[in-house]
């Protein structure tokens, strides 16, 4: 997440993946030696997965399009991966 470390993003729902353990990835058929990159969010006493990247897969549990400059940077970073 180049250039957007320690930024704030817009979340609008109460659903969240709260785990990113190797066993979770194995259940999805993802080799534990290459689990990808996980970005976490801490909110109050809760900690949950905010974003996930592995190869061509990029996923977020927040709305980059509603997250001002940080969201724009995230989208530009993502678009730059298309070759």
For residue 59, the domain's CATH number is 3.40.50.880
Instruction: Quote the pLDDT of residue 1.
Output: 60
pTM of the model: 0.66
pLDDT per residue as tens digits for the range 1-48: 667 777 777 777 777 777 766 676 667 676 666 767 888 888 888 888
- Which structural domain, as residue segments, surrounds residue 69? 1-82
CA–CA dist 47, 66 (Å, integer)? 21
* Number of domains composing the chain: 1
Find tokens 């979770």 and name the residue.
24
| Percentages (nearest 5) of helix, strand, coil residues in the chain | 25, 25, 50
Q: How many Å from the N-terminal Cα to the C-terminal Cα in the chain?
A: 18
What are the distances in angstroms from CA 37 to CA 45, 48, 49, 58, 69? 22, 14, 10, 10, 22
What are the distances in angstroms from CA 8 to CA 19, 42, 62, 64? 20, 11, 10, 10
pLDDT per residue as tens digits for the range 20-33: 666 766 676 766 66
């Amino acid at each position: 997440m180049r250039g957007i470390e320690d930024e704030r993003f817009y979340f609008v729902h109460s659903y969240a993946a709260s785990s990113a353990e190797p066993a979770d990835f194995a259940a999805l058929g993802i080799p534990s030696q290459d689990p990808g990159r996980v970005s976490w969010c801490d909110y109050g006493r809760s900690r949950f997965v905010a974003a996930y990247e592995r190869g061509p897969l990029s996923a977020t549990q927040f709305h980059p399009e509603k997250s001002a400059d940080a969201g724009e940077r995230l989208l530009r970073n993502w678009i730059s991966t298309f070759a």
